[in-house]
Amino acid sequence: MSSTLMKCLSLANTLRTATLRSLLTSQQKPTLAPWGAVVPALASHVQAVSGIHTSAASLGLMEFFDDPKVWSENEVKVGRAWKPDELRIKSNKELHQLWYILLKERNMLLTMEHECNDKMEVFPNPERIDKVKISMENLETVVRERNKAYHLLETGETGERPQRLVHNCFGLRYMYKSCEHVLPPFMNIKWIKSRNVGFGGRAVRKFLLQYREKLYNEKRKAKNRSRNEVMMILRRNPDFDLEVLRRQFPQVNIDKLRNEDKARGHYVPKIGV
């Protein structure tokens, strides 16, 4: 047991210290550092460890399946997802490589999940899919940040897809994402017609009136609720710390509420004390 533990710990140390660059550029197959790094030290025995996910070119279609060692396990322990801060220190090339590792990992997990569902078996640790998803989202965020910075430097614009607020046929505002067209705007009759949405009409006016009433009522009720809550607190605890109340309910005028009849407890007020 001790030898395996030592091996695991040393592996964890090397993975933690070594950067992805060294791992990727060395002769070894590309590895997914945090997935293996945290785990081996934690799970030193018994538990199935989906250790380091390697992706060799020779595996071919078997890359769609998990390690055969963990096929029949009930629990597969893995590490956490990649954090944005860890990804920010990687180069573009490394991020590009990591994207494909994550993509393969996700395909593998989806395949395993599908097969497990088909065979009426329990898919071990389904949160692995979420972890890959979070990692991929974080990676995209980082790439997007870099893209924005580059565009701002070169062109003075963010390079993001242009958006603007427009009204739809119900008179509600939404973000319209612009897209490229083959025809210029003045020639594109179909587009002009599709954009020409007026929202006059009795039905729309009635809808908007009631919709706004609904929004207003929600706001009003929330306000009343917090006001009543404050009064009940003051009634039950006359010596309540007002600063805490003010911080908790910034919208409520506490000084005014203190003189309310509802905020007074069921006791005879002390006069002249």
Partner 1 sequence: MSTRWYPIYQRGNPQLRVFLPNFWMKLVRPTEEQPPNVVTFAVSTEMTKHDVKNYLEKIYKVPVVEVRTRIALGDTKRDQTYGYITKNDDVKIAYVTMPKTEAFKFPDLFEKKAEQLEKDEKSMDDSKEGFRKFLERNKKRPGTPGWFSI
Nearest approach, Cβ of residue 184 and partner 1 (Å): 13
Nearest approach, Cβ of residue 70 and partner 1 (Å): 10
Whether the CB-CB separation of 130 and 109 falls below 8 Å is answered with no
Contact residues for partner 1, defined by CB under 8 A = 57, 60-65, 68, 71-74, 96, 99-100, 103-104, 106-107, 110-112, 114-116, 118-119, 121, 136, 139-140, 143-144, 147-148, 151, 159-161, 179-182
| CA–CA separation, 25 and 90 (whole Å) | 13
Nearer Cβ to partner 1, position 144 or 256? 144
Distances (CA, A) of 129 to 43, 68, 78, 105: 20, 19, 11, 9
Nearer Cβ to partner 1, position 112 or 231? 112
Q: Which residue has the tokens 């710390």?
A: 241
End-to-end Cα, the chain, rounded Å: 76
Q: Which residue has the tokens 């929600």?
A: 218
Nearer Cβ to partner 1, position 63 or 94? 63
Whether the CB-CB separation of 263 and 235 falls below 8 Å is answered with yes
Nearest approach, Cβ of residue 44 and partner 1 (Å): 17
| CA–CA separation, 249 and 241 (whole Å) | 13
Nearer Cβ to partner 1, position 191 or 199? 191
Nearest approach, Cβ of residue 23 and partner 1 (Å): 19
Neighbour-count burial of 228, counting CB atoms closer than 10 A to its CB (0-12 exposed, 13-18 middle, 19+ buried): middle
Strand partners, 197: none
Amino acid identity, position 217: N
| CA–CA separation, 74 and 226 (whole Å) | 49
Nearer Cβ to partner 1, position 10 or 74? 74
φ, ψ at 166 (rounded to 5°): -135, 165
Nearer Cβ to partner 1, position 123 or 207? 123
Nearest approach, Cβ of residue 200 and partner 1 (Å): 34
Nearest approach, Cβ of residue 60 and partner 1 (Å): 5
Nearer Cβ to partner 1, position 15 or 87? 87
Whether the CB-CB separation of 79 and 34 falls below 8 Å is answered with yes
Nearest approach, Cβ of residue 253 and partner 1 (Å): 45
